[in-house]
Chain A
Amino acid sequence: MIKLQTKVKVLCFAGLGEAIGKCVEIPVDSEISVSELRERLISTYPEHERSIRSCMIAVNHEYVTQETAIKTGDQIALIPPVSGG
């Protein structure tokens, strides 16, 4: 459970990291799920919405369901798919 006004650190991979920063902090004011965090990121970086939507979100090096609650100290990673070949 995240307490009021805590911040979640999000590691951004690949081109997204170059665009918005390799590690960004998102303030949250209550418990937040993975899908809510994605929406929060989109509202913070609206110009990168399409890129953020394409990402996989991992918590503590693990892919989790969209409903998973994020806890204080969790390591969050936002990973866009790599397309080229």
Chain B
Amino acid sequence: MLENLLRIYDKGKTFMSVDMTRYSRQILFSPIGTAGQEKLQKSRVAIVGLGALGTALANHMARAGVGYLRLIDRDFVEASNLQRQMLYDEADAEAQLPKATAAADKLRAINSSVTLDPHVTDLTWRNAEELLTGVDLILDGTDNFDVRYLINDISVKHSVPWVYGGAVSARGMTFTIRPGITPCLRCLFPHPPAPGVSETCDTAGVIGPIVQVVAAYQATEAFKLLVGATDHLETRLRHFELWMNHDTAMEVSGHRREDCPACVERRFEYLDPEDKQAKEVSLCGRETVQITPPDPDQIDLDHLEKRLQTVAKVERNPFMLRVQLDAHRLVIFPDGRILVQGTSEIPLAKSIVARYIGV
């Protein structure tokens, strides 16, 4: 064993710069072995969403020695995240750090040899092609179907596999998508659930263990894909109900939907939407509306900070501009995204943004 490890040390600069003893137990696992470890270290993975699933996935990937991790999240750490989002602590919540930044800091301390590429941004059709290509795999840590369908479009268009995962309450679901080989997400679920239909973590709650179960399956599928063990990939959609002691699996291989808009007709409705105007979303259960203006990168935080100082209490850090109004608060990010806190009413939020930001 020691000889093997020394041999790895001698194999080349990119591989031997890492202290291999840390991976010794993973290399002893024969389906990975030295060859698999080398593949992991040359792999590039994007993780979308760094909430409960995303932080668990990022933890597995970084500890396993995946060479490059792109971390994408639009949110910042809150106290209510700490019960299940394993990379964050009280100080992160206190400082309201962006999740991508806070996660990258923790992962750097866990494994300094991993290249971490955090992006504090909302994944949309505008930036998805840039953020989700140039990787071997996309892992789903998101909490909504609009963005999952966007990931699915990129996956099909650019032939990048991805692993869907969802968790809410004590229930979870996961499924591995290999474009052109397995059905895609829109084969199984052609349309997103209508607004208010799906349970969310803010409405139905969630317990930490289901997150770890789903993330464990997703991460194992990721390892199989990255080391090329495709024969062992799960071809079933897995469903877990931890509290009710029930789990099940549905065989889905070989059943691409004949009229699937994405993987059969190659119409990428989420990547190339008909309506390219400003987009507003009410963030369920959080009394917050997110608004992405039509030209988000045109926003100038310095200018806004100066202008708003005269009418409101303004706080600024490198990641956001916070504007405390009477009953509401605006949080404006450098990428142009605006959170209106204190309301779930989109028209009111738009009106506030129009009055204070002018879009």
Contact = CB atoms under 8 A, between A and B. Distances in A.
A50 B197 CA distance: 7
B239 A83 contact: no
A85 B197 contact: no
A63 B145 contact: no
Contact of B191 (A51, A53, A65, A84): A53
Interface string A53-73: 110101001111100000000
A5 B151 CA distance: 44
A58 B143 contact: no
B331 interface: no
A54 B197 contact: yes
Contacts, number: 101
A25 to B, nearest CB: 20
A63 B167 contact: no
Greatest chain B CB density within 10 A among A53, A56, A61, A83 is at A83
Nearest to B173: A82
A79 B246 CA distance: 14
Contacts of A62: 250-252, 255
B154 to A, nearest CB: 17
B297 to A, nearest CB: 27
A77 B248 contact: yes
A56 B183 CA distance: 13
Nearest to A52: B197
A24 interface: no
B311 interface: no
Contact of B197 (A51, A58, A61): A51
Given A13-B239, A15-B204, A54-B197, A83 B250 contact: no
B191 A54 contact: yes
A15 B183 CA distance: 25
Nearest to B236: A61
Contact of A54 (B166, B167, B173, B189): B189
A21 interface: no
B291 interface: no
B194 A50 contact: yes
Contacts of A51: 193, 197
Contacts of B250: 56, 58, 61-63, 77, 79
A56 B201 contact: no
Given A54-B191, A56-B237, A15 B199 contact: yes
B141 A63 contact: no
Greatest chain B CB density within 10 A among A13, A79, A82 is at A82
Given A81-B166, A85-B49, A85-B53, A63 B194 contact: no
B197 A63 contact: no
Interface in B237-287: 237, 239, 241, 248-252, 255, 257-258
Nearest to A54: B193
B149 to A, nearest CB: 11
B199 A85 contact: no
Given A56-B237, A81-B193, A63 B255 contact: yes
26 contacts: A14-B169, A14-B171, A14-B199, A54-B191, A54-B192, A54-B194, A62-B252, A79-B173, A79-B250, A81-B193, A82-B167, A82-B168, A83-B143, A83-B166, A83-B168, A83-B198, A83-B200, A84-B167, A84-B168, A84-B199, A84-B201, A84-B204, A85-B53, A85-B140, A85-B166, A85-B201
Q: Shortest 8 CB-CB distances between A and B: which pairs? A: A82-B166, A84-B168, A82-B173, A54-B193, A83-B198, A63-B252, A85-B143, A50-B194
Given A62-B255, A85-B143, 19 more contacts: A50-B194, A54-B189, A58-B250, A61-B249, A62-B252, A63-B183, A63-B250, A77-B248, A79-B173, A81-B193, A82-B166, A82-B168, A82-B239, A83-B144, A83-B168, A83-B200, A84-B52, A85-B49, A85-B201
